[in-house]
């Protein structure tokens, strides 16, 4: 008697797109058709389905469905940084890896560009991709011993002033010990992944993603000592809003926000749950950095022998 091979489970990919961009709509159509032709099912959110030219076979899921990614092997995200960070929310909650296609400007979270759509589909079909984990942040807001809010971030948690004419007075602490205090526009607590995002714009260092560290970067600080700080990944970063200062606001990845009353304390530590990113290329981060920022390297003559 000849043994019969067990049937393979159907493959499904979750697609997330910035439907407000015509380029994202066209890209989504190409990706969906390529996947369906290869026998891979596609699932999208109902709210986006109305704006996408989708065949009837595409599965549509309510936005608030907790099982939206059940059975999916990958999340393909088409859009700019905001859409990619939205995809990261789905990825962290489900554990499903995210593959980003950049339709915006810089797009450090993306693995492919708009011209690579055929390659993206081919790599997904043949499972020719690797998965890496990126550190996240767990964020908590306290006041008078009470927990006001809990959140997370892939790039950064930013404490910022609300009133344009008034500085935010803060005290910074690392591992329960005060470091310095000053008036400022804000303070960014970031991961290495976020070092090329908001923290970079504020003058923070670029940190290679493989480095395990936490960053604290002041924004517009009025102080002699207001340099970016890089700590161990096990450190606890704290930003205390002084009681006499106007209230502030906490932004996590520029997507989720909560008001910080005067006297609030924001604590940031390494996140318990990473975000999983699908990778198509083995290019070093150095090459990605040069390409994304179009850095001038024409005078380099090669490594010495």
Q: Which residues sit in the known binding site for NAD(+)?
A: 81-82, 86, 155-156, 166, 185, 196-201
Q: Residue 48, by phi and psi: left (phi above 0), alpha (psi -120 to 50) or beta?
A: alpha
Identify whether 122 is a catalytic site residue: no
SS3 content of the chain, % helix, strand, coil (to 5): 20, 35, 45
Catalytic residue among 63, 70, 81, 116: 81
CB 194: neighbour CB atoms within 10 A? Answer: 30
Annotated binding site, which residues? 81-82, 86, 155-156, 166, 185, 196-201
The DSSP call for residue 222 is: B
Separation of first and last alpha carbons in the chain:
62
Backbone phi, psi, residue 284, to 5°: -70, 160
3-state secondary structure of 33: helix
| Long-range pairs, 291-300, Cβ under 8 A, ≥24 | 292/106, 292/107, 292/108, 292/196, 293/106
Q: For 42-167, where are the alpha helices, taking DSSP H only?
A: 46-49, 81-94, 117-125
Contact between 113 and 84 (Cβ < 8 Å): no
The half-sphere exposure of 39 on its side-chain side, counting CA atoms within 13 A, is 4
If we measure between CA atoms, which residue out of 23, 209, 21, 191 comes closest to residue 113?
A: 23
Residues noted as catalytic: 81
């Amino acid at each position: 008697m000849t043994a019969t091979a067990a049937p393979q489970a159907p493959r499904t990919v979750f697609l997330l797109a910035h439907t407000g961009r015509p380029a994202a709509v066209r890209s989504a159509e190409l990706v969906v058709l390529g996947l369906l032709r290869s026998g891979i099912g596609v699932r999208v959110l109902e709210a986006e389905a109305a704006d996408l030219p989708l065949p009837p076979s595409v599965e549509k899921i309510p936005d608030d469905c907790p099982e939206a990614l059940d059975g999916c092997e990958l999340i393909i995200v088409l859009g700019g940084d905001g859409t990619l960070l939205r995809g990261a929310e789905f990825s962290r909650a489900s554990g499903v890896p995210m593959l980003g296609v950049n339709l915006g400007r810089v797009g450090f979270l993306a693995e492919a560009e708009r011209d690579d759509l055929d390659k993206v589909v081919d790599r997904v079909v043949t499972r020719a991709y690797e998965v890496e984990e990126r550190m996240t942040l767990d964020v908590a807001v306290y006041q008078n011993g009470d927990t006001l809010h809990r959140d997370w971030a892939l790039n950064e948690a930013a404490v910022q002033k609300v009133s344009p004419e008034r500085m935010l007075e803060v005290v910074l602490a690392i591992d329960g010990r005060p470091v310095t205090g000053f008036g400022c526009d804000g303070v960014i607590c970031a991961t290495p992944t976020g070092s090329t995002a908001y923290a970079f714009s504020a003058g923070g260092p670029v940190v290679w993603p493989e480095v395990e560290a936490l960053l604290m970067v002041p924004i517009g600080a009025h102080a002699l000592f207001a340099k970016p700080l890089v700590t161990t990944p096990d450190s606890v970063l704290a930003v205390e809003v002084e009681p006499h200062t106007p209230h502030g606001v906490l932004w996590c990845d520029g997507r989720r926000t909560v008001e910080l009353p005067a006297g609030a304390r924001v604590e940031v530590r390494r996140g318990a749950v990473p975000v999983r990113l699908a990778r198509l290329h083995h290019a070093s981060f150095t090459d990605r950095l040069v390409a994304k920022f179009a850095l001038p390297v024409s005078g380099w003559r090669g490594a010495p022998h």
